[in-house]
Amino acid sequence: MRAILLREFGGVEHFYEAELPAPAVRAGDVLVRVRAASFNPVDYKRRAGHFGGALPLALGHDAAGVVEAVGEGVSGLSAGDEVCAFLGDSRGPQSNGGYAELVAVPAQLVARKPAGLSWTEAAAVPTAGLSAYEAIVRHAALSRGQSVLITGASGGVGSFAVPLCLRLGAASIVATAGSERSAAYLAELGVAKESVISHRGATPAELAERAIAANGGRRFDVALDLVGGDMKRLACEAVGFGGRVVTLVEEPEERAFPVFDGQKSPLFARSASLHFEMLGARAASGGPADWEIYREELSALLALIESGQIRSVRTEDLGALSVETVREGHRRLEAGGVQGKLAMTVG
């Protein structure tokens, strides 16, 4: 099979094309012929060496394609089924990432693709969609009538989070944007124009004041941090008593936030909670019983999209699987300002 591999950690110049044998199909696995794969910020972070791992490495956390074979013990899936898959983590149980023509992955990380989704739209769902679903549904436990602040809402995860919040009956969604293009995209997703605030040139305290004003002068029930740094501080400043902050972004030690300091932490002062969403945790260090939640949540999310209860995400197809396509995906995401998702066709 053709695959785009990473030779060493660092820049995009370390990607190269290789011909590899087809992955072995173990008991419990599904072999998928990949038709499309999508790009996520974690891809360029992994390329840069933030998480280590063995090299050479085929990156890519998302794939959509056709089942070619199933391993012993797999039920409910068979050759010819159209599926999308969460490919976990480079330390996880899949054979390789989505930048390849074939991937063997545990059946628990696979769900059927809705007929109405294109291959690239389906490939855009797993990582970003599951991250949003777990953050909003599982950690924040958002309920009807509550208010939500989302930082960096125009990217992949935010593109799923906004429709999910609307579907769950959020009374108010306030989102930050870094450009007019991002603000316009958020309006397309359903965020009221007056509820989009620019995060350029303002301190977290100033942004919290603006966000609270956009929420009718009330602090938020839920804040979702998709950016980190000052945006995480904004999320913590803006939640109210008993509020929930969910973050997908780790912080380096030099930017550590005094969460547990009773004098400095706004969370402690308001009896608010902080939740971490690391989607690949179960894939990296769990077992089959832990992985089942991926299939359940991915199936639930795809059912919402198929039924029209939430919209599919704007997905830009960068072209066919190649070294240059992969490099472009990484450059675009690393530069920032992407609305929705970036994907590529594979087979």
pLDDT of 52 strictly over 90: no
Q: Are 346 and 317 in contact (CB under 8 A)?
A: no
At the topology level, CATH places domain 128-276 in Rossmann fold (3.40.50)
Specify the domain boundaries for CATH 3.40.50.720 within the chain: 128-276
Q: What's the pTM?
A: 0.95
Per residue in 297-337, pLDDT (tens digit) is: 999 999 999 999 998 999 999 999 999 999 999 999 999 98
According to DSSP, the β-strands at 15-19 and 2-6 are antiparallel
Instruction: Give the SS3 label for residue 195.
Output: helix
Specify the domain boundaries for CATH 3.90.180.10 within the chain: 2-125+313-345
Per residue in 178-220, pLDDT (tens digit) is: 899 999 999 999 999 999 999 887 888 899 999 999 999 999 9
Pairwise CA distance, residues 305 & 247, whole Å: 24
Please state which of the four CATH numbers 2.60.40.2140, 3.90.180.10, 3.10.310.30, 3.30.70.20 is assigned to the domain occupying 2-125+313-345.
3.90.180.10
Mean pLDDT, rounded, for 86-111: 90
User: How sure is the predictor about 343, in pLDDT bands with cuts at 50, 70 and 90?
Assistant: very high
pLDDT of 91 strictly over 70: no
Amino acid 80 reads: G
pLDDT of 90 strictly over 70: no
Per residue in 113-171, pLDDT (tens digit) is: 999 999 999 999 999 999 999 999 999 999 999 999 999 999 999 999 999 999 999 99
User: How sure is the predictor about 40, in pLDDT bands with cuts at 50, 70 and 90?
Assistant: very high
SS3 track for 274-331: EEECCCCHHHHHCCHHHHHHHHHHHHHHHHHHHCCCCCCCCEEEEEECCHHHHHHHHH
State the pLDDT at residue 269.
Answer: 87
